[in-house]
Amino acid sequence: MLSAAKSLSTGDVAAARVVLLRAAEARDPKAAPALAGTFDPIVLHKIGVYGIVGADISSARSWYEKAKEFGSEEAPRRLELLMGSER
């Protein structure tokens, strides 16, 4: 996941998604919420990513829910924030 963090730090969300998807599909409780964050408009705004690789609330919600199932402690809070931003 180190390469995903490096990709995000440079704004390369697409590359981060590729790395995180593999780990999240393996039920990694840290990778799943990180992957969700690459779709979350709140997270993308915080890290200053705009444009081509846009937010996808449906994908963010889905991955936060999976992360919650995988045992992520942060996923429920992020899911709540995401749902609050939709109102």
What's the structural domain count of the chain? 1
Round to whole Å and give the CA distance between 27 and 51. Answer: 29
The percent of residues above 90 in pLDDT, for the chain, comes to 62
Contact 85, 41 (CB under 8 A): yes
| Residue 32 vs residue 4, higher pLDDT | 32
Q: Amino acid identity, residue 2?
A: L
Token pair in block for residue 63: 């991955």
- The kind and range of the H/E element at 49 are none
Domain that holds residue 13: 2-85
| 45 has a pLDDT exceeding 90 | no
pLDDT one-digit tens code per residue, 48-68:
877 666 789 999 999 999 999
Per-residue model confidence (pLDDT) at position 25: 96
